[in-house]
Chain A
Amino acid sequence: EIVLTQSPGTLSLSPGERATLSCRASQSVSSSYLAWYQQKPGQAPRLLIYGASSRATGIPDRFSGSGSGTDFTLTISRLEPEDFAVYYCQQYGSSSFTFGPGTKVDIK
């Protein structure tokens, strides 16, 4: 089973700042089957990025994903007030799914 580690656990930033979130896999993620989700309190997760770098439908272009192999990054270029939330990475493919423990982005 592929284990995902996310860092940092919490990121304290101000609106307008750039956020860089990391996701590291215990083994190579095949075909960049890596996704990022955003979850706000009391809400279901929302797909942001799939295939490591493709934005899901309706996701603003301030969100971008990059990486391959075992190291992946989610970047939010300029934080908007609605972006403060928890972000999870997920690996998928071959009928197996695992999530990282999450990174909380809160207001500094």
Chain B
Amino acid sequence: EVQLLESGGGLVQPGGSLRLSCAASGFTFSSYAMSWVRQAPGKGLEWVSAISGSGGSTYYADSVKGRFTISRDNSKNTLYLQMNSLRAEDTAVYYCAKDGASPLPEDAFDIWGQGTMVTVSS
């Protein structure tokens, strides 16, 4: 069964850091680009970052550029999101999502994890 399982969320103070993980199973992880998408409480979906299958190319939304870093370890079938300089507006459920067909981030997201909640508050 194809599955994504996020972890690492929690409560962090403004200015703090957190690292999210997404464990993948049931498919050839390195063959697909991966993304992080977030959803603030009661709000819509916002794409955050993407990474190619090889990990050699990364992409960021302007709202997180310079503060967040996406990476992957294909030997461990795991995607990461390092979040630094966190702000209250980063509070959201963070989902990892699999690209539908390509090692480059250029397709719809066919598999999503269940999400992990990040709360930035003092």
Contact = CB atoms under 8 A, between A and B. Distances in A.
Nearest to B57: A95
A101 B43 CA distance: 8
Contacts of A39: 45
Contacts of A50: 100, 107-108, 110
Interface stretch (B15-23, B24-32, B83-91, B111-119): B111-119
A35 B44 contact: no
Given A88-B44, A95-B50, A97-B47, A47 B110 contact: yes
A96 B62 CA distance: 11
Interface in A59-108: 88, 90, 92-102
B105 interface: yes
Counting contact residues on chain B (CB < 8 A from A), the size range is: 20 to 34
Interface string B77-95: 0000000000000000001
B113 A93 contact: no
Contacts of B115: 44
B75 to A, nearest CB: 24
Interface of A: 33, 35, 37, 39, 44-47, 50-51, 56-57, 88, 90, 92-102
Given A39-B45, A45-B95, 9 more contacts: A35-B108, A47-B109, A56-B108, A93-B106, A95-B104, A97-B35, A97-B105, A98-B47, A99-B46
Interface of B: 35, 37, 44-47, 50, 57, 59, 95, 100, 104-110, 112-115
